[in-house]
Amino acid sequence: MKIKRIEHVGVVVRDVDASRRLWEDCFGIKLGGVEQIAGRPNKLALYPVGESMVELLAGVTPDSKFTRMCDEGKAGINHICFEVENIDEALAELKAKRVPLLDQVPRIGHAGCRIAFLDPAGTEGCLIELAELPAESGHHA
């Protein structure tokens, strides 16, 4: 498996728009974009920092996973995402090494990336996402 870089670090926040003050006004980081993936009850904001990004994640409904996390006091750093060259090969390699996966096959994530999550039970409690960026993507790289 070829890990190319840390693609992003996911941070759960209560409200993406309210959190923009910290990231833009206090830290001076320019917003890369805001996205809401169709059919998912969350909204995200991407902040490019060097070759990586900070991804803010917030629920948009009272029963969404990220809203519940904030209500339970579990906001903050949620996961680390590695960009991989080939996600199908990476998942096959991890399966062969008996690393438990939350996603057996890739799904579509932000900016059209193909993503999959590893089970924290097999990664010392760390939620790890793998992402393969679309070849024709204008996505931050």
pLDDT in tens, 101-126: 999 999 999 889 999 999 999 999 99
pLDDT score recorded for residue 40: 87
Domains and CATH numbers, the chain: 3-132 (3.10.180.10)
User: Please, which residues have CB within 8 angstroms of residue 139's CB and are 6 or more apart in sequence?
Assistant: 111, 112, 113, 133
Give the C-alpha separation, 116 to 105, whole Å.
7
- 135 versus 58: the higher-pLDDT residue is 58
pLDDT at 139 > cutoff 60: no
Phi, psi for residue 76 in degrees, rounded to 5: 115, -160
pLDDT score recorded for residue 141: 42
pLDDT at 132 > cutoff 50: yes
Q: Is 0.85 surpassed by the pTM of this model?
A: yes
